[in-house]
Amino acid sequence: MIADIITIGGSAGSLQVILEILPELRSDLPVPIVIVFHRKATPNPEILINLLNVKSTLTIKEAEDKEKIKPGVIYIAPANYHLFIEKDHSFSLDASEKVNFSRPSIDLTFLTAVDVYKNHMAGILLSGANSDGIRGFEAIQSQGGYCIAQDPVTSQVPYMPAKAISKKVVDYIATPSEIIDLINKCQPASAV
Amino acid sequence: MELQTVRDEDIETLLIDLHRTHGYDFSDYSRASMKRRLIRLITIDKFPSFAELHYRLIHDSFYLRRFIEEITVNVTEMFRDPEFFKYLRQHIIPTLGTYPFIRIWVAGCASGEEAYSMAILLKEANLLHKSLIYATDLNPRVLEKAKSGIFSLKSIKQYSENYLASGGYEDFSSYYSAKYDVVIFNEALRKKIVFSTHNLVSDSSFNSFQLILCRNVLIYFNTRLQSHVFDLIDKSLDNLGYLAMGTKETLRFAGISPKYKQVDPKEKIWRKHDS
C-alpha cells in the first residue's frame, strides 16, 4: 500500500481494535496515522492517551491546533472538536456543529485529508454503529486512495464497516491482523 | 458537494474581492474550515456554482450579512465546559472582586451565551453592579440575537445542566422568563453587557480589561493571525489580568507567552505578569 497518511475512523466497539492494532505496528513507521473515534469528552483525556502510549513504541498524542503532521506519529482527534488537515500538512481544530451526530466527525477528517493527499492516502473504518466515515470513503475512492473496512465479522458493532462495503467504496475487507499487516507494509509515495 | 469540487485559487480570488469590496479580510483564516463552510453555503443557498456565489457576494451587500453569518462558526453554549466556569467562579471572580470596577471582554462572543454566563457568575458573587462586560463579534447578525437576550427553550435544558455542573446553586429559571418556545434573559443581566461589532483582524484595542475570554476563536485563524490577535489581547489586558482560552487552545507558542503564567496546569487560563 502506498500512502502518505493513514486515517482511521471508529465508533462503538473500536477502542478494543485500536488497542489490538497499536502494539503490533513497526516502530519505524514511515507515515503518520490520524485516528478519529467517537468518545465522550472527559475531564482527563490524558488517561486515554497514556493508556494507548503504554501499548506502543510509537508516539501517540492528541492532535493540536496548527501542529505539523510528522511521519511515525499517531495522532488522536481531541474530544468535542472536528479535526481538519490543512494544505501545509498541519492540523486545525474546529468547534462547529456536529456532523452525523458526532464531533469529531470521521467524515470531516477524511474529506479534508483527501483534499490534501489526493490518491496518496488510506482510510480505515473500524467497528461502529454510525454511518460517519462513509462520505469520506466515497471521496477517497473518487480520488483513487485506499479504503479498508474492518471485516464486519470481527467487528463488535458491524454496522459502519458493513455500510461501507454495501456502498462498494472499499478496496480491502480486513481482519485486525490484516489491518496491522497493511499498515506495516505501507510506504510513503515519495519512497516509491 | 465535496471539497475538491472547488478550486483553491477560486477561494483566494473570492477572499481578495471580498476584502476589496466590503473590507472583511478572511485571508488569514484556516483554509480547511473556510473551504468547508463556503461549500456548505453553496449547497444550502443552492448556488449553481462557486462563481455564482462569488458574483452575488460582491454585488449584493444584503447577502453579505448572511455570508458573514454563515461563513463564521457561531456554535456556542451557556456555561460551555462547566469545569472552566467552576474554576472562574472559585478562583478568578474573587480576585476580580478586589477591583473597584470590573471590565471583562468576551472576544468573538457569537450569540452571546458566554457573556450571559459571565453576567450570572458576577451576579452570584454580588459583583455585577460594579462590572461591565464587553461582548464583541465581527458578525452583526449574531450580535442582534445576542443583544435581544432571547434564546430557544430547547437549548435551556442543556444550559441549566451546565449551570449546575459549574457550581450554580440558584434556580436557573430565575434568570429568564419563558414564553412559548423561547426564553428572554433578565434586564438586570442584559444591561451589564455591551454588545458591539469588533473585528479581531482589523480593529484595534478599545479598552483595557481584567479578564478576556477568547475561547474557540483562534482555532479558525492561521498562526500569523493568531499571533496578531495575541498582541491585540496583550494590549487590551491589564497587568495581572487573566486570559481564558478554549479547552484545546494554548498560549504556549505565542510571542507574548514569556509574560504570562498558566494559573493551573488543568485550566486554559493565563495571568499576565508584566515586569
B122: its cell numbers = 458576577
pLDDT of residue A43: 65
Q: Is the pLDDT of residue B87 over 70?
A: yes
pLDDT of residue A40: 73
**Is A107 tagged catalytic?**
no
Specify the long-range contacts of residues A80-84, CB closer than 8 Å, at least 24 apart: A80/A41, A80/A104, A80/B247, A81/B219, A81/B248, A82/A108, A82/A109, A83/A34, A83/A36, A83/A108, A83/A109, A84/A108, A84/A109, A84/A112, A84/B30, A84/B32, A84/B33, A84/B36
Does A114 contact B223 at a Cβ distance shorter than 8 Å?
A: no
| B77 part of a folded domain | no
Q: Are B120 and B175 in contact (CB under 8 A)?
A: yes
Sign of the alpha-carbon dihedral angle for B254, B258, B263, B265: positive
Q: Is the pLDDT of residue A68 over 80?
A: yes
Nearest Cα residue to B146 out of B109, B188, B105: B109
Q: Is the pLDDT of residue A122 over 90?
A: yes
* DSSP-assigned beta bridge partners for residue B179: B182
**Count of residues for chain A?**
192
Smallest CA–CA distance from A46 into chain B, residue: B266
Domain co-membership, B145 together with B193: yes
Domain co-membership, B132 together with B248: yes
Domain co-membership, B38 together with B165: no
Domain co-membership, B256 together with B198: yes
Set of chain A residues whose Cβ sits within 8 Å of the Cβ of B37: 96
Nearest Cα residue to B70 out of B31, B106, B92, B38: B38
Looking at A4, A14, A38, A127, which residue is catalytic?
A38
Question: Average pLDDT in the B136-143 region?
Answer: 96
Domain co-membership, B125 together with B230: yes
pLDDT in tens, A131-169: 999 999 999 999 999 999 999 999 999 999 999 999 999
| DSSP designation for A187 | B
Could you tell me the pTM of the whole model? 0.95
B35 CB within 8 Å of a chain A CB: yes
How many residue pairs bridge chain A and chain B with CB atoms within 8 Å of each other? Answer: 73
pLDDT of residue A34: 98
Q: Is the pLDDT of residue B13 over 80?
A: yes
Q: Is the pLDDT of residue B220 over 80?
A: yes
Q: Is the pLDDT of residue B1 over 70?
A: no
Question: Average pLDDT in the B178-199 region?
Answer: 96
Question: Average pLDDT in the A98-109 region?
Answer: 96
* DSSP-assigned beta bridge partners for residue B152: B182
What domains does chain A contain, in order, with CATH numbers? 5-191 (3.40.50.180)
Set of chain A residues whose Cβ sits within 8 Å of the Cβ of B33: 84, 92, 94, 96
Set of chain A residues whose Cβ sits within 8 Å of the Cβ of B36: 84, 108, 111-112
Set of chain A residues whose Cβ sits within 8 Å of the Cβ of B73: 94-96
| B76 part of a folded domain | no
- What distance lies between CA B212 and its chain's CA centroid? 11
Q: How many domains does chain B have?
A: 2
pLDDT of residue B2: 72
Instruction: Say how far apart CA A123 and CA A6 lie, in whole Å.
Output: 6
pLDDT of residue A46: 81
Give the end of a domain, one of B21, B41, B71.
Answer: B71
Q: How many CB atoms lie within 10 A of CB B259?
A: 13
Q: Is the pLDDT of residue B243 over 70?
A: yes
Q: How confident is the model at residue B160 (pLDDT cuts 50, 70, 90)?
A: very high
Shortest CB distance from A97 goes to which of B4, B75, B223?
Answer: B75
Q: Is the pLDDT of residue B252 over 90?
A: no
CATH number, domain containing residue B242: 3.40.50.150
Instruction: Say how far apart CA A124 and CA A108 lie, in whole Å.
Output: 14
pLDDT in tens, B25-38: 999 999 999 999 99
Instruction: Say how far apart CA B58 and CA B18 lie, in whole Å.
Output: 7
Distance linking the first and last C-alpha atoms of chain B: 53
Q: What is the mean pLDDT of chain A?
A: 94
pLDDT of residue B3: 77
Q: Is the pLDDT of residue B227 over 90?
A: yes
In chain B, the percentage of residues whose pLDDT exceeds 90 is 96
Question: Average pLDDT in the B68-88 region?
Answer: 96
Instruction: Say how far apart CA A52 and CA A22 lie, in whole Å.
Output: 8
In chain A, the percentage of residues whose pLDDT exceeds 70 is 98
Residue type, B202: S
B4 CB within 8 Å of a chain A CB: yes
Domain co-membership, B23 together with B99: no
pLDDT of residue B154: 94
| DSSP designation for B91 | I
Domain co-membership, B42 together with B116: no
- B window 54-83, beta carbon within 8 A of A: 73, 75, 83
A113: its cell numbers = 485529508
Domain co-membership, B149 together with B225: yes
**Is A38 tagged catalytic?**
yes
Question: Average pLDDT in the B98-106 region?
Answer: 98
Q: What are phi and psi of B46, to 5 degrees?
A: 55, 45
Q: Is the pLDDT of residue B75 over 70?
A: yes
Q: Is the pLDDT of residue A91 over 90?
A: yes
Nearest Cα residue to A110 out of A145, A136, A144, A84: A136
The position carrying cell 489586558 is: B237
Please give the residue range of the domain that contains residue B62.
Answer: 3-71
**Is A132 tagged catalytic?**
yes
Domain co-membership, B8 together with B88: no
Q: Is the pLDDT of residue A44 over 80?
A: no
Q: What is the mean pLDDT of chain B?
A: 96
Smallest CA–CA distance from A78 into chain B, residue: B248
| B61 part of a folded domain | yes
Q: Is the pLDDT of residue A33 over 90?
A: yes
Instruction: Say how far apart CA B145 and CA A141 lie, in whole Å.
Output: 42
